[in-house]
């Protein structure tokens, strides 16, 4: 096929030999299968902000680091330079997340290069070498649904241990190769420690998976893995191999009324003593 304009710089610089075909077009980007030497890879071309259908970006960008104060000020003011930097930061978020998660043992496509706004990465393939299907296109038995659900929960835990929450995880952002689920689409990934929306997004990600797999294995609908995972993370107890139960009981600490009354009485006594001292100091 004709080389898309955005991929031409990669061809000119020898990173891509030719474009084989378009693989998909999503709300954030278009993905092409490209020939790189003897390998087939993916080239993800990010859409311009005005053409993306992804919304509520401010919820995802909170807490993201900027290179310097000038960049931060420009992004805050919404200047032309600021918009360019904001767009660059949005694109780099996925690249950075892929490298971090691959190093943490999370099943994500291997990134190879990011050039001129195009992410060159591994083509996730099925057992026949064809592009792997999305999870929502795969027919699941109850046993496989339980297995994939457990696999993805483990990936979510590893992601969180690496400090990242996907933020938009569902059956549409998971591919299935010969070894199981592979998580994709991470430009909206959030910093778990710096983003105030992280806990809500983590629970939503897990709830999306539970709702999907619960169609095939109904007992999964009764679990509360999202709340359990976040509670372990918040208390500093989450590990990549933490054992999960799917049960969650909020901590309920009963107030000690006697202790509260003692504090109140002590404060009253201290205030009375202070008043007495002041009155004595004012006597002629």
**Active site positions, annotated:** 168, 185
Residue pair 211/226 in contact (Cβ under 8 Å)? The answer is no
**Residue 258 to residues 261, 265, 266, 267, 269: CA-CA distances in angstroms?**
5, 10, 12, 14, 16
Which pair of structure tokens corresponds to residue 172?
């549409």
| Residue 152 buriedness (CB in 10 A; 0-12 / 13-18 / 19+) | buried
H/E element holding 25? strand 18-25
DSSP 3-state assignment of 189? coil
DSSP 151: H
Residue pair 100/162 in contact (Cβ under 8 Å)? The answer is yes
Residue pair 122/107 in contact (Cβ under 8 Å)? The answer is no
**Residue 205 to residues 55, 176, 229: CA-CA distances in angstroms?**
17, 18, 12
- What is the spatial distance between Cα 181 and Cα 43, in angstroms, rounded to a whole number? 20
**Residue 277 to residues 15, 268, 273, 281, 283: CA-CA distances in angstroms?**
83, 14, 6, 6, 10
């Amino acid at each position: 096929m004709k080389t898309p304009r955005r991929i031409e710089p990669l061809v000119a610089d020898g990173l891509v030999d030719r474009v084989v075909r378009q693989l998909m077009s999503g709300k954030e980007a278009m993905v092409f299968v490209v020939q790189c030497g003897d390998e087939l890879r993916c080239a993800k071309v990010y859409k311009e902000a005005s053409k993306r259908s992804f919304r509520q970006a401010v919820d995802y960008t909170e807490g993201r680091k900027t290179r310097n104060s000038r960049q931060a000020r420009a992004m805050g003011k919404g200047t032309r330079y600021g918009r360019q930097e904001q767009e660059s930061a949005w694109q780099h978020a996925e690249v950075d997340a892929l490298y971090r998660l691959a190093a943490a043992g999370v099943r994500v496509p291997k990134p190879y290069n990011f050039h001129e706004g195009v992410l060159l990465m591994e083509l996730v393939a099925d057992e026949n070498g064809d592009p792997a299907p999305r999870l929502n296109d795969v027919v699941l038995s109850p046993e496989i649904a339980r297995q994939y659900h457990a696999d993805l929960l483990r990936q979510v835990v590893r992601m969180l241990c690496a400090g990242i929450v996907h933020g938009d995880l569902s059956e549409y952002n998971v591919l299935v190769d010969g070894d199981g689920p592979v998580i994709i689409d991470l430009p909206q990934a959030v910093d778990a420690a710096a983003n105030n929306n992280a806990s809500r997004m983590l629970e939503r990600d897990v709830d999306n998976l539970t709702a999907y797999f619960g169609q095939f294995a109904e007992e999964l609908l009764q679990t509360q893995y999202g709340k359990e995972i976040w509670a372990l993370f918040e208390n500093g107890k989450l590990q990549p191999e933490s054992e999960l139960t799917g049960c969650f009981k909020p901590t309920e600490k009963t107030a000690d009324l006697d202790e509260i009354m003692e504090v109140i009485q002590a404060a009253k006594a201290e205030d009375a003593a202070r008043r007495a001292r002041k009155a004595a100091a004012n006597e002629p």
